[in-house]
Every structure is written in structure tokens, then in C-alpha cells.
């Protein structure tokens, strides 16, 4: 709903821009016709343009040179159509300016209200190549999030994509407070500089110690510093890209499976994590209890225990407790059904 509101706002702005272009085109057309007409009557090119300009603007100057009867007839048409076009242009421009001003005020109030309502959301700092792809993934997952970028053009690009975005410097504490960092669930620090990401992490973790923070590291030696600053997960794009390139040569089918599970080549199949709640309509004791529900149709790949241990390919006898996360793969409707069964939501 938030994305549709922003898109409607941009649609209105596009219509206003088109209106301005039409007005400018109308005035230019009248000037062109008048200039050609007076040129035919016998004026020089500049005098013809000047005569047309003072006529349609009704400044009250006298004729540059006496007009013949045919010239006065032509000038009468220029007065009628040109002055009408100018009055129309002035009125339309005034209306456009007022609408733009009201739209900007309404848009700012609307965004402020939408941000105030955000809770357990994610904050994406930076809408460059990394932040943009992360935002599209959050958007695809229908997760609540907001984009923060100091560059107005990139923020507008996020808005055009149907995202909630603000123009602000995420390295400042006040900017993070404005986008609800105290109520947020997680933050992505995706600025191009490791130093800037470090500032963001320090500020965000100071304001909200429970916040989950993920970031990127351009330099390998910066990864440890970012973790010490409070980053929960640090990705090194160049290291990861090199590893994937090597794996694509020596383990191509493994890479194909990873691409399938992470990029959803088949739109029906996806990988998800589901937390086991301590209350609900169904509280399993073992993994077999879940697998016995044949209508779920989900495959449990791993279990991330509440204590932090990761169990891969767990056997049916594995004990399942509240707080455990099941890493499952299957069709999206069935995964939602499993989530509703285990969480009671």
C-alpha cells in the first residue's frame, strides 16, 4: 500500500510536468506563427518576433511600423489567439505551481506518517548497486523496509520502484532516529565506503543494541573491524565472487542448486526459515511429527537450534523445541501453511 501511494504521487508529478511542456509548446507555437506572419507582411526576422511578443503579452507598445489592412487583420487574430494562450498559460502555470507545492507538502506528511507507523522493519542505508538489489529482494519478500540515501536522484529512483525512501545521511544519529531505528528489526549498511558503513554500525548499535546489522566490506581487512563495531554479518563481495567463480568450474551442479535455492529460478519453489513457537495449534516434539503432516509438502534441509547449533539434514528423530528455526524448501503456499501451523499466526 505504501508503494502504491508513492507511485501515485510520482504519477501526479509526471502529469504536472507534461502540463508544463504543453504550455511551453503552445506559447512557442503562437510565437512561431506570429513571427512567420509578420515576416511575410514585410518585417525583418527580429522585428517580426518582437512584434509578436509585445502583442501576445499585451505590454501596450505601439506598432513598430504602420500596418496595412491585411496586416491589422492578421494582428487581430494574433491578439485573440495569442492573448488567450498567454492567459491560459499563466493560469495553468499558477495552478501547476500550487499543485506542486501542495503535493510536496502532502507527500512529506504522508511519508512522515508512514515512517511513524513502521515497526519491526528494515533499514537499507544506501541505494547503490548492493543496496538496490537488497531492497528489491526485501520488496519481493513483502518485508517492511525504508531506503535511506543522501543522493536525491537515487532516493527518487527507489520511490519510482514503489519503495518508501528518504533523502538523508545515514551516518548521522538523527537520520537513523527519523527512520525509526529504535523500532527496527534489522539494518543493511550498503554504502560504498567501509568507513561510512563503520559509522552507521556504531551509531545504529548504540541507539538500538538489539538491532541485527548486516554490511558489506570492500576491503578484506575491514571485515574484522566491522564485526567489532557490532555487525552481525559481513559480506565480502570480491571474496564471495571469487569463490563462486571457482565453484562454477569444479562444482557446477552445486552452484546450480545454490542459484536455484537463492534466486528462485522456479517462482513456485522457495527457501524459507520458520521458527517453532512454544504455543499454537500444533507443537511438534520431533521432526517426524512435522514430516507426518504429508499435506505440508515441505522439505526440512536443516535446523538452527535455539542454542545456536546448526544441524544439516536432520534425521526424523531430531528433537524440535520452541525457538528452533527450520530451514525448509517447498512451494510458497505450503510454506505459509507450515508457518501458520508452527507459529499459530
What confidence tens digit (pLDDT) does each residue in 78-137 have?
878 887 877 887 777 777 777 666 666 656 677 777 888 889 999 999 999 899 999 998
More confident of the two residues 44 and 20 = 44
Running DSSP on this structure, what letter comes out for residue 319?
Answer: B
Highest mean pLDDT among 272-276, 296-300, 339-343: 272-276
Share of the chain above pLDDT 90, in %: 22
Position 279 pLDDT exceeds 80: no
Dihedral Cα 133, 138, 142, 146, nearest 10 deg: -100
Stretch (H or E) spanning 149: strand 145-149
Highest mean pLDDT among 29-33, 200-204, 290-294, 318-322: 200-204
Q: How many CB atoms lie within 10 A of CB 59?
A: 8
CA separation for the pair 114, 199 (Å, rounded): 26
Question: Given strand 310-312, what is the order of strands in its sheet?
Answer: 269-275, 325-331, 299-304, 310-312
Domain coordinates in residue numbering, the chain: 2-115, 118-241, 266-343
Q: Quick one: cell of 173?
A: 544519529
Position 294 pLDDT exceeds 60: no
pLDDT of residue 333: 81
- CATH H superfamily, domain 118-241: NAD(P)-binding Rossmann-like Domain (3.40.50.720)
User: Which residues share a beta bridge with 129?
Assistant: none
Position 206 pLDDT exceeds 90: yes
pLDDT of residue 92: 76
CA separation for the pair 150, 108 (Å, rounded): 16
CATH topology of domain 266-343: Alpha-Beta Plaits (3.30.70)
Running DSSP on this structure, what letter comes out for residue 216?
Answer: E
Q: Is 286 helix (H, G, I), strand (E, B) or coil?
A: strand
**Confidence band, pLDDT 50/70/90 cuts, at residue 13:** low
Residue 266 burial (10 A CB sphere; 0-12, 13-18, 19+)? exposed
More confident of the two residues 73 and 189 = 189
Share of the chain above pLDDT 70, in %: 86
Q: Are 266 and 328 in contact (CB under 8 A)?
A: no
Q: Quick one: cell of 36?
A: 512567420
Q: Quick one: cell of 168?
A: 538523508
Q: Is 166 helix (H, G, I), strand (E, B) or coil?
A: strand
**Mean residue pLDDT across the chain:** 81
More confident of the two residues 280 and 32 = 32
Position 6 pLDDT exceeds 70: no
Stretch (H or E) spanning 165: strand 165-167
What confidence tens digit (pLDDT) does each residue in 143-177 have?
899 999 999 889 989 988 889 999 999 999 999 99
φ, ψ (nearest 5 deg) of residue 200: -65, -45
For residue 193, give Cα distances in angstroms to 152, 156, 190, 238, 300.
18, 22, 8, 14, 38
Dihedral Cα 165, 128, 136, 261, nearest 10 deg: -150
Please report how the helices 222-229 and 194-207 are oriented relative to each other, as an axis angle in degrees rounded to 10. 10
Position 8 pLDDT exceeds 50: no
**Confidence band, pLDDT 50/70/90 cuts, at residue 211:** very high
Radius of gyration in angstroms for the set of CA atoms belonging to the chain, rounded to a whole number: 31
pTM assigned to the model: 0.59
**Confidence band, pLDDT 50/70/90 cuts, at residue 307:** confident
Q: Is 250 helix (H, G, I), strand (E, B) or coil?
A: helix
Position 2 pLDDT exceeds 50: no
Q: Is 271 helix (H, G, I), strand (E, B) or coil?
A: strand
Highest mean pLDDT among 53-57, 145-149, 217-221, 341-345: 145-149
pLDDT of residue 82: 80
Provide the pairing of β-strand 145-149 with 186-189: unpaired
Distance, C-alpha 327 to centroid of its chain:
28
CA separation for the pair 239, 237 (Å, rounded): 6
Query: In 3D, which of 160, 157, 15, 26 has the Cα closest to residue 81?
Result: 26
pLDDT of residue 258: 72
Q: Quick one: cell of 312?
A: 544439516
Q: Please state which CATH number belongs to domain 2-115.
A: 1.10.287.70
pLDDT of residue 159: 87
Amino acid at each position: 500500500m505504501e508503494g502504491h501511494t508513492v507511485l501515485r504521487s510520482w504519477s501526479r508529478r509526471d502529469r504536472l510536468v507534461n502540463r508544463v511542456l504543453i504550455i511551453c509548446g503552445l506559447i512557442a507555437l503562437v510565437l512561431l506563427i506570429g513571427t512567420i506572419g509578420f515576416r511575410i507582411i514585410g518585417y525583418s526576422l527580429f522585428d517580426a518576433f518582437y512584434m509578436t511578443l509585445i502583442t501576445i503579452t499585451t505590454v501596450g507598445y505601439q506598432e513598430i511600423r504602420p500596418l496595412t489592412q491585411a496586416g491589422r487583420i492578421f494582428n487581430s487574430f494574433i491578439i485573440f489567439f495569442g492573448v488567450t494562450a498567454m492567459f491560459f498559460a499563466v493560469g495553468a502555470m499558477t495552478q501547476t505551481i500550487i499543485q506542486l507545492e501542495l503535493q510536496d507538502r502532502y507527500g512529506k506528511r504522508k511519508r512522515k506518517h508512514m515512517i511513524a507507523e513502521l515497526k519491526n522493519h528494515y533499514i537499507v542505508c544506501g541505494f547503490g548497486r548492493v543496496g538496490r538489489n537488497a531492497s528489491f529482494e526485501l520488496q519481493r519478500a513483502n518485508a517492511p523496509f525504508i531506503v535511506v540515501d543522501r543522493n536525491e536522484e537515487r532516493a527518487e529512483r527507489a520511490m519510482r520502484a514503489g519503495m518508501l525512501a528518504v533523502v538523508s545521511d545515514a551516518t548521522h544519529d538523527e537520520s537513523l532516529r527519523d527512520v525509526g531505528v529504535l523500532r527496527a528489526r534489522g539494518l543493511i549498511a550498503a554504502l560504498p565506503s567501509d568507513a561510512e558503513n563503520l559509522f552507521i554500525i556504531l551509531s545504529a548499535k548504540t541507539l538500538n543494541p538489539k538491532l541485527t546489522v548486516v554490511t558489506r566490506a570492500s576491503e578484506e581487512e575491514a571485515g574484522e573491524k566491522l564485526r567489532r563495531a557490532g555487525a552481525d554479518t559481513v559480506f565480502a563481495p570480491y571474496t564471495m565472487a571469487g569463490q563462486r567463480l571457482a565453484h562454477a568450474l569444479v562444482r557446477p551442479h552445486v552452484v546450480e542448486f545454490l542459484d536455484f535455492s537463492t534466486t528462485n529460478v522456479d517462482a513456485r519453489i522457495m527457501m524459507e526459515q520458520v521458527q517453532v513457537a512454544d504455543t499454537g495449534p500444533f507443537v511438534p516434539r520431533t521432526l517426524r511429527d512435522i514430516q507426518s503432516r504429508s499435506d505440508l509438502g515441505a522439505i526440512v534441509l536443516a535446523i538452527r537450534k535455539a542454542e545456536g547449533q546448526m544441524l544439516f539434514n536432520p534425521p526424523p528423530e531430531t528433537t524440535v523445541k520452541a525457538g528452533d528455526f527450520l530451514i525448509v524448501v517447498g512451494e510458497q503456499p505450503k510454506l505459509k501453511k507450515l508457518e501458520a501451523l508452527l507459529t499459530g499466526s
